[in-house]
Amino acid sequence: MIRLALLLLLAWAGPGRAQELPLVAALSQDAVEVTTGFTGTSLMVFGSTEGPIGPGGDEVLVLARGPTRPVVVRRKVPVLGLIWVNGPSARFAGVPGFYFIAGTRPAWQLLPEEERQRNGLGLDSLPLTSTGARSPAFRAALLELESHSGLWVENTSPVEIAGSRLFHARLPLPAAVPTGDYQVEVLLVRSRRIVARQELAFRVDRVGAADRIATVAADQPFLYGLACIMFAALAGWLGSVLFRRG
Amino acid sequence: MQVYLPIAEMSVDAFLLVGIGFGVGWLSGLFGVGGGFLLTPLLILIGIPSPVAVASGANQTLGASVSGLIAQWRRGNVDAKMGGVLLVGGVLGSLAGVQLFALLRRVGQVDLAVSVFYVVVLGTVGGLMVMESVRAILRRRTTIKRKLHEHFWMHGLPLKMRFRRSRLYISIIPPFAVGFGIGMLSAVMGVGGGFMLVPAMIYFLGMPTSVVIGTSLFQVVFVAANVTMLQAVQLGTVDILLTMLLLLGGVAGAQFGASMGTRLRGEETRALLGLLVLSVAMSLLWGLLRRPPNLFSSGPAL
């Protein structure tokens, strides 16, 4: 399917138009549906460049960010040298629930440090501001925890090149991916400068039963609670009826 | 088979949940405890966020207990009058417990308080039960004639009431106080409280073991319903799909447990429950004492 999409793109962005646009990119889907059977999925980011991709020529960076939320990172400390309890904590505002970056080469090889920091290209350049404990270890711990959960992905696999002007990258979305709006940026880098960028977007939404349950739980908590109680009691009763003869 | 839990916002193996439900339901039917003190730590262990684990655990406890309660009711092992007195105390106690919980939260060490509560309460209850039941098992051989139950200060209290099923004529103050105390602890610890209720009814109120289990389930059903409602309205953390999967195994387990329980002697049932409670306390204590593999943890900011 991806191959077909690439071919279509090539046809659409054919020789005449590629001259005008230095970079053309698209997503394989613009909506991800989270059903009760959802176990994670992946999107394809693909496109073509004006000039040949590779060392000395054009380079491509793909950046994706999910909806943000505040996060608290806590550190355990021993009390009386015996019991480990939650001690100091740092609160980070606006932490992206999903972060992905990949390039034909890692971003730090392609761009000057200042440029890279300004555009937030790479986990170490995320603009994370915290209140509470000051130690940089909290930020490092947040990076480690999020990377471990698969929600923050940096350069795990490079952007693939086909036929010197076509590129594609796989965007892995794990099962725990937060719902909401996602921004994808595709950057074209030439001689250590960003010469073109294209912004794309997709949505992650719960659908079907999963969505209805979450909606009712949020909008009608009393009815939902009552339903949960009735349901559990009914299941218990049903169990005792079924097993009486057994 | 993986399923996506809509409230927990994660995907887990459905068979694993059904299996956990079966195991906990089996214990619930066997011992007359809701199993919340086992289920909640197990769910957290497999990665369910703790607020969802506590709330859905309470909901599953409700279902499993209804199943166990019906099985016990059919055998005539429920003292509804005693259960009612315990329940009134329990509801008032859990309201007080919520206030205590809020106070601990203001002080800022709710995690520590809950862990210490667990270790102290489970350790004490488990230790006492094991000691007593081992003594009872040993005494069985040397047949000493014992009175039905001994009289002490408790039996001089006013407001006496006859509990026919329990073969007791006692003041309603002790059962009310037991219900109140356990209601308070269960609000702080987020459990139904059956594992504390069972020994309290046996040793403190002097009820026969056969009636204790059914009566405990009676109380647990209502406490769990109350907790489910409070959690659904205040925090929105009850995951009905998680509950459904746990119950699928749980209701079957509770029936097997209940029929097996009738074949075990009272002392043996108590000894086994005591050992189980004690081992949970030990593992929680170990969790507090050992150096955590990752010193840092993250969670959503409130």
| ipTM confidence score | 0.77
Q: Which two tokens stand for residue B1?
A: 């088979």
Is there a contact between A92 and A62 (Cβ–Cβ < 8 Å)? no
Task: Verify that A78 and A171 share a domain, yes or no.
Answer: yes
Task: Verify that A30 and A80 share a domain, yes or no.
Answer: yes
pLDDT of A8: 57
For the domain that residue A92 is a member of, what is the CATH number?
Answer: 2.60.40.1930
Residue A68 host element (H or E): strand A68-79
pLDDT of B38: 81
Q: Do A176 and B11 touch (CB under 8 A)?
A: yes
Task: Verify that A217 and A113 share a domain, yes or no.
Answer: no
Is there a contact between A57 and A41 (Cβ–Cβ < 8 Å)? no
Q: What percentage of chain B reaches a pLDDT higher than 70?
A: 88
Question: Which has more confidence, A185 or B254?
Answer: A185
Question: Which 8-state DSSP code applies to residue B207?
Answer: -
Q: Do A221 and B236 touch (CB under 8 A)?
A: yes
pLDDT of B16: 93
Torsion angle (degrees, nearest 10) of CA A224, A226, A231, A232:
110
* Backbone torsion region of residue A180, taken as left when φ is above 0, otherwise alpha when ψ lies between -120 and 50, otherwise beta: left
Tell me which residue has tokens 């693909």: A46
Question: Smallest Cβ distance to A236: which of B67, B233, B301?
Answer: B67
Strands, sheet with A41-49, edge to edge from the N-terminal-most edge strand = A23-27, A41-49, A166-173, A160-162
CA B214 vs. chain centroid, Å, equals 13
- Measure the CA–CA gap between B198 and B129, rounded to whole angstroms: 10
pLDDT at B210 over 60: yes
Average pLDDT of the segment spanning B205-220: 84
Tell me which residue has tokens 């315990």: B86
Mean pLDDT of chain B: 80
- Measure the CA–CA gap between A180 and A97, rounded to whole angstroms: 10
**A161-to-A102, A147, A158, A197, B245 alpha-carbon distances in Å:** 13, 26, 9, 18, 45
Residue B296: list chain A partners with CB under 8 A. Answer: 73-76, 137-138, 141-142, 144-145
Q: Count how many Cα atoms sit within 13 Å of the Cα of residue A43 in the half-sphere of its side chain.
A: 25
Task: Verify that A162 and A211 share a domain, yes or no.
Answer: no
pLDDT of A16: 47
Task: Verify that A26 and A74 share a domain, yes or no.
Answer: yes
Q: Do A213 and B240 touch (CB under 8 A)?
A: yes
Give chain A's residues under pLDDT 50. 14-18, 246
Residue A218: list chain B partners with CB under 8 A. Answer: 236
Please tell me which residue of chain A has the smallest CA distance to B230.
A225
Strand ranges for chain B from DSSP E: 2-5, 10-13, 160-163, 168-171, 296-300
Is there a contact between A217 and B234 (Cβ–Cβ < 8 Å)? no
Is pTM beyond 0.90? Reply is no
- Measure the CA–CA gap between A25 and A165, rounded to whole angstroms: 12
What digits encode the pLDDT tens for the residues A79-128? 877 788 878 888 898 899 999 999 998 888 888 988 888 888 888 888 88
Is there a contact between B193 and B83 (Cβ–Cβ < 8 Å)? no
Task: Verify that A81 and A140 share a domain, yes or no.
Answer: yes
Question: Smallest Cβ distance to B251: which of A221, A227, A236?
Answer: A236
What digits encode the pLDDT tens for the residues B33-87? 767 778 877 887 787 877 788 778 888 888 878 877 887 888 888 888 888 888 8
Task: Verify that A34 and A71 share a domain, yes or no.
Answer: yes
Task: Verify that A242 and A175 share a domain, yes or no.
Answer: no
Mutation pick from B1, B11, B50, B223 vs chain A, by most beta carbons of A within 10 Å, is B11
| Chains A & B: contacts with CB separation below 8 Å | 191
Residue A138 contacts B, CB cutoff 8 Å: yes
pLDDT of A169: 93
φ, ψ dihedrals at A191, nearest 5°: 40, 55
What digits encode the pLDDT tens for the residues B153-167? 666 677 777 777 777
Q: Do A76 and B240 touch (CB under 8 A)?
A: no
pLDDT of A18: 43
What digits encode the pLDDT tens for the residues B89-120? 888 887 787 778 777 766 656 667 777 887 88
Q: Do B238 and A211 touch (CB under 8 A)?
A: no
Domain range enclosing A43: 2-206
Task: Verify that A103 and A50 share a domain, yes or no.
Answer: yes
pLDDT of B142: 60
Task: Verify that A159 and A227 share a domain, yes or no.
Answer: no
**pLDDT-based confidence at residue B32 (cuts at 50, 70, 90):** low
Question: Smallest Cβ distance to A224: which of B11, B232, B256?
Answer: B232
Instruction: Please tell me the total count of domains within chain A.
Output: 2
Task: Verify that A134 and A155 share a domain, yes or no.
Answer: yes
d(CA B140, nearest CA chain A) in Å:
33
Average pLDDT of the segment spanning B255-268: 78
